[in-house]
Structure 1
Amino acid sequence: MEEELPQYKCHKIVGAAKITALKDAEEGKTLVFGEIDRHRYVGSNWLDQNRTMVVGGYFVVYVDGYTAYSPAQAFEEGYTKVDT
């Protein structure tokens, strides 16, 4: 972490699922969330913005609807599952 930058602690609640597989789809990919038996199509623009995505990381949805990829270690160290 760059020492000259202020530090922040995350306190957001997000929706997220671990990516367990990727399937090719027309002009994109289908992310498979095997632990919850769900999937989600993402287009080529999303894939371009999330080039570091690999199986084992997390698909994250923020309260405003913004979606992103988070590497597993960063996500698991920063978030704890909550009961809803």
Structure 2
Amino acid sequence: MNPALQTIKSLAKTIAGAEIILLEIPTVFHKAGDVLEEKMAEHLPDAVLCIGQAGGRVDLTPERIAINQDDARIPDNEGQR
């Protein structure tokens, strides 16, 4: 189960007149960015908000710098390191 995806699925389809487009991005190194770029080119959004889960956190904590797009201490969902 993807808790972040389940949470955003509860959002309205529009908020303050803005269309909300939901997209599940694969948690696979080098694929996530490609999928996001493709959908951004397709929809040309005014803003993009990426939501994820950080194990053990109970609060909403925005990342200052997201550094694990292509490597991490654990394998991605396809076993890549």
> Could you tell me the TM-score, scaled by structure 2's length?
0.24
> Could you tell me the TM-score, scaled by structure 1's length?
0.24
Which structure is richer in relative contact order (CA contacts within 8 A, separation 6 or more)? 2
Q: Which has the higher helix share?
A: 2
Q: Which has the higher strand share?
A: 1
